[in-house]
């Protein structure tokens, strides 16, 4: 937990509130880090880069925890930080949207011939996702991959639940068109 080492380097001047924030973030890290790396990985082609983004997100959340009114909102805030960091990295051109096997569930064994078919269809879906607008892509990934509710997505992205519905609907329509077999 690199973020913890960075945060603990300032421990000499900590208040009791700082210790409580550290405990909250340590618990959040244990519960959310793997899912956040997977989320970042969907938008990047580099696992190490995705891990770095998550570490940076925890450091930033530690410094901003005082702004969170309810600890229940910390996960939403953390996802927002991860998505913003991914956007920043993509804007700088350090990462791309090629993410070949980010969505393969390692808990389910796949036969070699199934894996080839799965990889090809995943590649098609990922390619189609990369062609959507940023907001549509984010809404669809959070809704169907992370399995968040519309209200949680709205909170994470800072938009209304109706906007989430609209972006999901339009994104699905676009995906359907992009994935239609050529006739």
Q: Which of the two residues, 79 and 106, has the higher pLDDT score?
A: 79
Tokens 């956007």 sit on residue: 87
Q: Which of the two residues, 68 and 104, has the higher pLDDT score?
A: 68
**CB of 26 closer than 8 Å to CB of 76:** no
CATH 3.20.20 fits 14-97, yes or no: no
**Predicted confidence band of residue 22 (pLDDT cuts 50, 70, 90):** confident
Does the structure show a pLDDT above 90 at 101?
A: no
Average pLDDT rounded to a whole number, residues 118-129: 75
Q: Which of the two residues, 72 and 105, has the higher pLDDT score?
A: 72
CB atoms inside a 10 Å sphere around CB 7: 21
DSSP 38-59: HHHHHT-S-HHHHHHHHHHHHH
**Predicted confidence band of residue 93 (pLDDT cuts 50, 70, 90):** low
Domain range annotation of the chain: 14-97, 111-183
The mean predicted confidence, pLDDT, of the chain is 79
Does the structure show a pLDDT above 50 at 103?
A: no
Tokens 């910390």 sit on residue: 74
Classify residue 102 as exposed, middle or buried by CB count within 10 Å of its CB (0-12, 13-18, 19+). Answer: buried
Q: How high is the pLDDT of residue 92?
A: 64
Q: How high is the pLDDT of residue 97?
A: 38
**CB of 142 closer than 8 Å to CB of 82:** no
Q: What is the pLDDT of residues 1-15, one digit of tens each?
A: 677 777 777 777 778
Chain centroid to CA 71: 19
Q: What is the pTM of this model?
A: 0.64
Average pLDDT rounded to a whole number, residues 54-61: 91
Residue range 111-183 forms a domain whose CATH class is mainly alpha
**Predicted confidence band of residue 31 (pLDDT cuts 50, 70, 90):** very high
Torsion angle of the four alpha carbons 61, 64, 68, 74, in this order, in degrees rounded to the nearest 10: 0
Average pLDDT rounded to a whole number, residues 78-96: 75
Handedness of CA 69, 72, 78, 84 (dihedral sign): negative
């Amino acid at each position: 937990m690199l973020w913890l080492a960075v945060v603990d380097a300032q421990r000499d001047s900590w208040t009791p509130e700082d210790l409580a924030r550290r405990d909250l973030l340590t618990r959040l890290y244990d519960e959310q880090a793997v899912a956040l790396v997977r989320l970042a990985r969907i938008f990047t082609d580099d696992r190490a880069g995705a891990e770095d983004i998550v570490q940076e997100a925890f450091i930033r959340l530690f410094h901003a925890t005082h702004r969170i009114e309810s600890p229940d909102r910390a996960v939403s805030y953390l996802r927002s930080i991860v998505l913003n960091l991914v956007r920043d990295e993509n804007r700088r051109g350090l990462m791309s949207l090629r993410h070949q096997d980010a969505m393969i569930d390692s808990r389910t064994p796949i036969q070699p011939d199934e894996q080839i078919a799965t990889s090809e269809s995943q590649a098609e879906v990922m390619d189609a996702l990369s062609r959507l607008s940023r907001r549509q892509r984010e809404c669809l990934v959070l809704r169907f991959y992370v399995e968040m509710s519309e209200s949680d997505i709205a909170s994470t992205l800072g938009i209304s639940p109706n906007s989430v519905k609209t972006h999901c609907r339009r994104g699905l329509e676009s995906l359907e068109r992009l994935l239609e077999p050529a006739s």
